[in-house]
Amino acid sequence: MAFRRQIVRATLQNANGNNFAQLARAGGRCLSSASPSSSAAPADSPPQLPPFDHRPKPYKGPSAEEVLQKRKTYLGPSLFYYYQKPLNIVEGKMQYLFDESGKRYLDAFAGIVTVSAGHCHPEILKAIVEQSELLQHATTIYLHHAIADFAEGLAEKMPGNLKVVYFVNSGSEANELAMMMARLYTGNLEMISLRNAYHGGSSNTIGLTALNTWKYPIPQGEIHHVMNPDPYRGIFGSDAAGYAKDVEDHIAYGTSGRVAGFISETIQGVGGAVELAPGYLKMVYDTVRKAGGVCIADEVQTGFGRTGSHYWGFETQGVIPDIVTMAKGIGNGLPLGAVVTTPEIASVMSQKIQFNTFGGNPVCSAGGLAVLRVLDKEKRQQHCAEVGSHLIGRLGDLKEKYDIIGDVRGRGLMVGIELVTDRKEKTPAKAETAVLFEQLRDLVFTVSESRRTVLTV
Amino acid sequence: MQRFVARSGLLEGGRRRAQSLLRSQQQQQKQTRYFAQAAREKEIANDVLPKMPPFDYSPAPYTGPSVDEILAKRRQFLSPSMFYLYKKPVNIVEGRMQYLFDEGGRRYLDGFGGIATVNCGHCHPDVVDAIVSQVKRIQHPTILYLNHAVADFAEALASKMPGNLKVAFFTNSGTEANELAMMMARLYTGCQDMISVRNSYHGNAAGTMGATGQRSWKMFLDGQQSGIHHVLNPDPYRGPFGSDGEKYAKDVQDIVDFATTGHVAGFISEAIQGVGGIVEAAPGYLPAVYKNVRKAGGLCIADEVQSGFARTGNMWGFEAHGVVPDIVTMAKGIGNGMPLGAVVTTPEIAEVLTRRSYFNTFGGNPVSTAAGLAVLKVIDKDNLRENASTVGAYMKDRLTALKEKYEIIGDVRGRGLMIGVELVSDRQKKTPANAETLHVLDQMKEMGVLIGKGGFYGNVFRITPPLCFTKEDADFLVDVMDYNMSKL
């Protein structure tokens, strides 16, 4: 992060800021505008946020400087934050965030693809507050209806025989459990994951993760990282067959021929909103199952209707996994994760005790169930499809206008914009991305940047 | 010489008088205690049921699904290995301080605390207030942006730590905290070998499942626990060296000398094993082991997931052993039931995570950390350390008296409000009395007392109530146990 700051400072001092400013403004306008005709507006006037009828509470807490100082002292040097001048976010409402001075920001990042229904959505708040006042925690050694109702609600959203639910507290925990299930069920150790994937920060999931920024040098066991079916940067473009063959090769030449399982995101989140080449999963699922393995779909970012076209990301590839993991959007920000699998796989898990103290607690379960209901009632999947395609359309126009935009991709409200300094070479435009990222912040607009050159929305 | 003898005779006389006065005072106190106890025992002998202390609170009427409906859904949609306590499971729908309520509004004394988790008391108003006010403001922005809640909580947590332990990392569970701690130790030292104790429990992810020292909690998965060495458990009741901590510590040195390169990543242990049946490390063990491990370049990790946050009468379990760890992990009581965990360590050790990026999406969110801060304040405001110490000691004394009465009680142990009662069918052989444990557990529930069970053999009552537990609550719990044991 410190290195990034140097790039930004250098660029701001040296570069011709005009182009970037224009791009930033255009980008901001595009992303904040609801009407398709505003491309007619002059490029130099800053766009306006859509109106929003909510007054944040006056903030009387510590200032940004005070908070930053405490963080540096008590939260360790590895804890990074966005922006040269970090935002002190003190309140949220639906798709907006508010800083200490009450300034409103359009939240295009949603706490990293997490706040699915909207910050402080009234119905979800109600469920959380009511349950918190009744019973926060007793564990599953006693009965409680919330976990059972929520499990039923989730299972109803699943295709095939995916109907046994395990509740955990995060995506990492969910993927850890899924990996254990795969190994136990098959009796094999070898796991396969995609290069550029992110699956978690615990010991086993660091092994599955395939981005060196996130991999500490610890032994990762029997894990194979196969070619990423990346339509933009991959060697086979959008031709899935070439990539799928790599999985066959890894199994044939790098394992005993029998594997535990394959795990992938359908749209890689941390990896920069990279959607898998069409048809990829069908081929790979087939290969993996022939080798005795199970197929795990990591829906931590793509789940719950975010892709617009489908409820789950894996549905966009026309497959049914054996295990599905989820977190982030599942609870609109509540610390909650889940693993859904088949009764056959679940029965193997029952050979020993598997217990999660906080998992499925009444408050998180009540919140999770409220999220499912809100997403259905407010037709959010459809909304993602509509707004998402509008967004991608407008970004596509921007790409025509600015050479620096190498690729616009994604589905629904999971969109990526990759910046390159050379469209042929696809040289990552690291400095420019960093600058644009900062300037968007000034336009009261928060996005994320993955792999230093992709803005994800 | 005569004078000297005479003077010493006088002093001797004074001493004898003082001693006799003290003895008679003690006898008087004993008599009072025995009298009260005798009265209770008379009641029990006469089949008079103990009475739960009064509590001025009415639960809300319950209109949700019934026990049968919930059970059916659990069977259909939840893990087949998900178990519940009791022949007839309890449907817990509400909680208030040290009491829980079922669907019929019946009140139970919570002697288990949601597994040593609800330290302040169910729905403690200060904690609920903090949660509700924060959740209405913002639940989740991530720590990519600033927010004061996580910073304030980290500062407050650091102020409760000895030594240079002042950098906190927030996770969502004990498992996540222990996973992170183990990784940090391995990164810091450059070694992989980790030492943990037999009969321990540290979590259910790959690394922590490996560190866990009980087969019941380890999936049939080979290859997950490479680099882990499990050492002799310094168990005063079942261990070969009784309470001689230093003798057990030699096993750690042996492992370092004969099973590793001589350099290790670290050592992880609970000050009092929770899942393992409330087994407190024999005195002298931790100081000796910490010395050996540090000589071998390793870090000492204290797993305070169950013993932390005032439960033992001190803020941290390790304090009673006179050591200062390098890394402390915590969860359970930290948020009174909020999914929250933490790793606290020194700035030097914290630095290792800067080598790459570590990020926990939910970790340190404003709601969980607001709850955590409220918990720390309640611990001070409600004097929970002292209460745990006093009521705990009182309860332990009463349980020890029960041990005199019933052969089946093999051991009573623990500290503060983390107490274990081990049942054996043979005091010499220490044969676990599982059936009786389950039976008494069940019967106690019927009479309104909820406690837990644990231990490798499943024959230990685990008593880890909310720390607002009173002496009257302790009396009720022990009386109910007494009553049911008398019926065995």
B247-261 pLDDT tens trace:
999 999 999 999 999
pLDDT in tens, B190-214: 999 999 999 999 999 999 999 999 9
For residue A48, the model assigns a pLDDT of 86
Amino acid identity, residue A30? C
What does the block give as tokens for B480?
């109910």
Residue of B62, B138, B368 best to disrupt the A interface, most CBs of A under 10 A: B138
In a mutational test of the A interface, the residue from B164, B184, B204 whose CB has the highest number of chain A CBs within 10 Å is B204
| Helix (H/G/I), strand (E/B), else coil: A144 | coil
Q: What is the pLDDT of residue A446?
A: 58
pLDDT reported for residue A82: 87
Q: What is the pLDDT of residue B68?
A: 95
State pTM to two decimals.
0.90
Residues B277, B411: contact at Cβ < 8 Å?
no
| Beta pairing partners, A106 | A96, A445
> Which pLDDT belongs to residue B22?
56
Q: What does the alpha-carbon distance between residue B17 and residue B13 come to, in Å, rounded to a whole number?
A: 6
Cα separation, A326 vs A310, whole angstroms:
15
> How close A151 comes to chain B (CA, Å)?
6
* Dihedral angle sign, alpha carbons of residues A298, A302, A307, A310: positive
* CB contact A21 to B (< 8 Å): no
Tell me if chain B has a CB within 8 Å of the CB of A127: no
Q: Which of residues 19-38 of B touch A (CB under 8 A)?
A: none
Please give the helix or strand (H or E) that residue A137 lies within, else none: none
Distance CA A123, CA A130 (A): 11
Residue of chain B minimizing CA distance to A141: B84
Cβ within 8 Å, pair B77-A155 = yes
- With 0-12 / 13-18 / 19 or more C-beta atoms within 10 angstroms meaning exposed / middle / buried, residue A58 is exposed
Q: How many other CB atoms are found less than 10 A from the CB of residue A16?
A: 7
Q: Which amino acid is at B61?
A: P
Instruction: Choose the closest CB to B361 out of A91, A112, A120.
Output: A112
Residues A367/B339, Cβ–Cβ less than 8 Å: no
CA dihedral B368, A155, B95, B438 (to 10 degrees): -120
Contact residues, A window 219-238, toward B, CB-based 8 Å cutoff: 219, 221-222
Question: Quick one: pLDDT at residue B392?
Answer: 98
Taking the C-alpha atoms of residue A420 and residue A404, their distance in angstroms, rounded to an integer, is: 5
Local structure of residue B261 (DSSP, 8 states):
S
Q: Is B131 within 8 Å of B370 (Cβ atoms)?
A: yes
Residue B24, pLDDT score: 66
pLDDT tens column, B276-318: 999 999 999 999 999 999 999 999 999 999 999 999 999 999 9
**How far apart are the C-alpha atoms of A3 and A22, rounded to whole Å?**
25
Q: At what angle do helices A64-74 and B148-159 cross, to 10 degrees?
A: 40
From the CA of A422, how many Å to the nearest CA of chain B?
28
Q: What does the block give as tokens for A201? A: 């920060």
Contact A81/B145, CB-based, under 8 Å?
yes
CB contact at 8 A, B164 and B180 = no
Q: Hey, is the C-beta of A361 within 8 angstroms of any chain B C-beta?
A: yes
pLDDT category at B45 given cuts 50, 70, 90 is low
Q: Which residue of chain A is at minimal alpha-carbon distance from B126?
A: A133
What is the pLDDT, as a whole number, of residue A11? Answer: 39
Chain B contact for A41 (CB, 8 A cutoff): no
For residues A86 and A102, give the distance between their C-alpha atoms in angstroms, rounded to a whole number.
15
Are the CB atoms for B70 and B34 separated by under 8 Å?
A: no
Share of chain B above pLDDT 90, in %: 85
In B78-173, which residue ranges form alpha helices assigned H by DSSP?
113-116, 125-137, 148-159
Q: Which among B93, B344, B361 is the top mutation candidate for probing chain A, defined by the most A β-carbons within 10 Å of its own β-carbon?
A: B361
Nearest to A229 by CA among A283, A195, A264, A277: A277
- How far is residue A240 from each of residues A27, A246, A417, measured CA to CA in Å? 32, 10, 22
* Average pLDDT score, chain B: 93
Q: What six digits make up the tokens of B225?
A: 């626990």
Q: Which of B67, B73, B76, B77 to mutate to test the interface with A (most CBs of A within 10 A)?
A: B77
Strand partners, B171: B341
Q: Is A164 on the interface with B (CB under 8 A)?
A: yes
Amino acid at A232: Y
What dihedral angle (degrees, nearest 10) is formed by the CA atoms of B413, B415, B419, B424?
-10
pLDDT at residue B142, rounded to an integer: 87
Q: CB contacts < 8 Å between A and B, how many?
A: 390
Report CA Rg, chain B.
Answer: 24
Contact A125 B136 (CB under 8 A): yes
Does B315 reach chain A within 8 Å, measured CB to CB? no
Q: Of A348, A333, A321, give the one whose Cα is nearest residue A175.
A: A321
Q: What is residue A399's DSSP assignment?
A: H
Q: How wide is the angle at C-alpha B378 spanned by C-alphas B372 and B384, nearest 5°?
A: 115
What is the rounded CA–CA span in Å between residue B483 and residue A386?
A: 67
Query: Within an 8 Å CB–CB cutoff, is residue A436 touching chain B?
Result: no
Contacts of residue A360 in chain B, CB cutoff 8 Å?
78
B54: closest CA of chain A, how far (Å): 20
Burial of B470-486, coded b for 16+ CB within 10 Å and e otherwise, reads beebbbbbbbbbbbbbe
Q: Which pLDDT score is estimated for B403? A: 97
Contact B423, B437 (CB under 8 A): yes
Give B74-84 pLDDT, tens digit per residue.
999 999 989 99
Classify residue B16 by burial, with Cβ atoms within 10 Å: 0-12, 13-18, 19+: exposed
Instruction: Return the pLDDT at B34.
Output: 58
Nearest chain A residue to B183 by CA distance is A203
Q: Are strands B279-280 and B272-273 parallel, antiparallel or unpaired?
A: antiparallel
What pLDDT sits at residue B475? 98
Triad B174, A295, A319: Cα angle to 5°: 125
Among A4, A65, A67, A75, the residue to mutate for chain B (most B Cβ within 10 A): A75
- Specify the pLDDT at position A350: 87
Residue B101's pLDDT band (boundaries 50, 70, 90)? very high
* pLDDT-based confidence at residue B402 (cuts at 50, 70, 90): very high
Find, in chain A, the residue whose alpha carbon is nearest to that of B71.
A143
Kindly list the distances between the CA atom of residue B215 and the CA atoms of A288, B21, B202, in Å, as whole numbers in the listed order.
Answer: 31, 55, 13
* Residues across chain B: 488
- The two structure tokens encoding residue A357: 């103290």
Q: For an interface test with A, give the residue of B62, B68, B82 to mutate (most A CBs within 10 A).
A: B82
Q: Provide, for chain A, the percentages of residues in helix, strand and coil under a 3-state DSSP scheme, each rounded to the nearest 5.
A: 40, 15, 40
| Residues 373-432 (A) with a CB less than 8 A from some CB of B | none
Express each pLDDT in B427-441 by its tens digit: 999 999 999 999 999
Let me know: does B413 contact B278? Beta carbons within 8 Å: yes
Mean pLDDT per block of 10 residues along chain A (457 residues) reads 43 36 41 37 71 93 93 89 89 93 90 90 96 95 95 96 96 97 95 96 93 91 95 96 97 96 96 95 98 98 95 97 96 96 93 92 97 96 94 95 95 93 93 87 62 71
Instruction: Report chain A residues whose CB lies below 8 A from the CB of B136.
Output: 120, 125, 129
Distance CA A403, CA A421 (A): 8
Question: Which A positions 45-74 lie with beta carbon below 8 A of chain B?
Answer: 57, 61-62, 64, 66-68, 70-71, 73-74
pLDDT at B72 over 90: yes
Q: Residue A78: its pLDDT value, please?
A: 87
Cα–Cα distance between B116 and B415 in angstroms, integer? 13
Select the more confidently predicted residue: B22 or B306: B306
Identify which of A197, A149, A202 has the alpha carbon closest to the alpha carbon of residue A177: A202
A309 touching chain B per CB within 8 A: no
Q: How far apart are CA B232 and CA B251, in angstroms?
A: 6
Q: How far is CA B322 from the centre of its chain?
A: 18
With CB atoms and an 8 Å threshold, state whether B356 touches A352.
no
Alpha helix (H) ranges present in B146-284? Answer: 148-159, 174-189, 206-211, 245-259
B155 CA to chain A: closest CA distance, Å? 6
* A153 chain-B contacts, CB cut-off 8 A: none
Residue A239 CA: distances (Å) to CA of A233, A278, A435, B107: 12, 8, 34, 64
Is the CB of residue A334 less than 8 Å from the CB of residue A302? no
